């Protein structure tokens, strides 16, 4: 760790390259890297809630991963996502894919967004199998949203050239991609390139048509 910073720094002793990664899994502390590198990324931290709802008695198995209930998303008026009961038996995860802008160093620990709409959605979609009165458990977390909601995976460029590899702005859907993202960042740091994906979709410079990064 760099003293006084929220950024973990990893050095490749063979190539001399540096791979930087936020200490927060969602990257909401990416602003600390700006203080170190001078590169500003258009990433907005959002505070959001992950909610777990009680499955009504007798239906726990049907809505569990063992009952082959799927991971799901709804992209209607309210964007929601969820997964079958697993980590907390008898509870199913349903949450809104959104949040309130926040300063990650001064989080308000708010009550979430669109809670009434989420309750209405749960009642309608699960047809009474899930108690939509109130979530049993709420976990506050953060998103790091880019303007296009895609990742930033790139060399930092500028005076750092290819000596610094950056992964940030995962926009609330980076966790499930962690294995392949880790592999890509490792290859960039070790080999200076990757064959896993065309990085043009994730370059820093996509946010500025005139950028040379």
Q: How many degrees, rounded to 5, is the angle at CA 105 between CA 102 and CA 110?
A: 45
Q: Residue 9 pLDDT > 90, yes or no?
A: no
Total residues belonging to the chain:
213
Instruction: Tell me what pLDDT residue 65 has.
Output: 94
pLDDT score of 66: 94
Average pLDDT, integer, range 185-211 = 84
pLDDT of 106: 86
Lowest mean per-residue pLDDT among 36-50, 75-89, 92-106: 36-50
pTM exceeds cut of 0.95: no
pLDDT at position 67: 94
Inform me whether the pLDDT recorded for 79 exceeds 80: yes
Is residue 99 a contact partner of residue 111, using CB atoms and an 8 Å limit? no
Contact by Cβ (8 Å): 122, 129: no
Q: Would the pLDDT of 118 be above 80?
A: yes
* Integer Rg of the chain from CA: 20
Q: Which residue has the higher pLDDT, 78 or 56?
A: 56
- The pLDDT score that the predictor gives to residue 103 is 87
What integer pLDDT is reported at residue 211 of this predicted model?
45
pLDDT at 41 (0 to 100): 80
Mean pLDDT confidence for 174-199: 88
How large is the average pLDDT for residues 202-207?
88
pLDDT > 70: what percent of the chain? 79
Does residue 171 carry a pLDDT above 90? no
Q: Identify the three-state secondary structure at position 167.
A: strand
Please give the pLDDT value at position 4.
40
pLDDT digits (tens, 9 = 90+) for 19-46: 555 444 345 455 545 544 566 788 889 9
pLDDT for the residue 37: 54
Rounded to an integer, the average pLDDT of 69-92 is 94
- Helix (H) or strand (E) segment spanning residue 117: helix 115-125
Q: What is the pLDDT of residue 23?
A: 45
**pLDDT value at residue 76:** 85
Largest CA distance in the chain: 62
Residue 63 CB burial class (10 angstroms; 0-12, 13-18, ≥19): buried
């Amino acid at each position: 760790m760099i003293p006084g910073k929220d950024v973990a720094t990893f050095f490749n002793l063979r190539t001399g390259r540096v791979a930087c990664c936020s200490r927060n899994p969602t990257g909401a502390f990416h602003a600390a890297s700006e203080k170190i590198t001078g590169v500003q990324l258009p990433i907005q931290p959002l505070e959001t809630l992950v909610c777990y709802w009680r499955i009504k008695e007798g239906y726990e198995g049907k809505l569990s991963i063992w009952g082959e209930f799927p991971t799901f998303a709804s992209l209607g008026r309210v964007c929601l996502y969820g997964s079958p009961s697993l980590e907390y038996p008898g509870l199913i995860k349903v949450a809104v894919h959104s949040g309130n802008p926040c300063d990650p160093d001064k989080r308000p620990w708010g009550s979430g967004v669109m809670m009434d709409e989420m309750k209405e959605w749960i009642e309608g979609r699960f047809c009474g199998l899930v108690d939509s009165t109130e979530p049993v458990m709420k976990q506050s977390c953060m998103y790091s949203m880019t303007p296009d909601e895609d990742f930033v995976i790139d060399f930092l460029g500028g005076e750092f050239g290819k000596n610094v590899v950056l992964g940030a702005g995962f926009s609330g859907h980076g966790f499930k991609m962690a294995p392949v993202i880790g592999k890509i960042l490792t290859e960039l740091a070790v080999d200076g390139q990757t064959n896993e994906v065309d990085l043009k979709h994730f370059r820093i410079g996509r946010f500025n048509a005139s950028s040379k990064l």
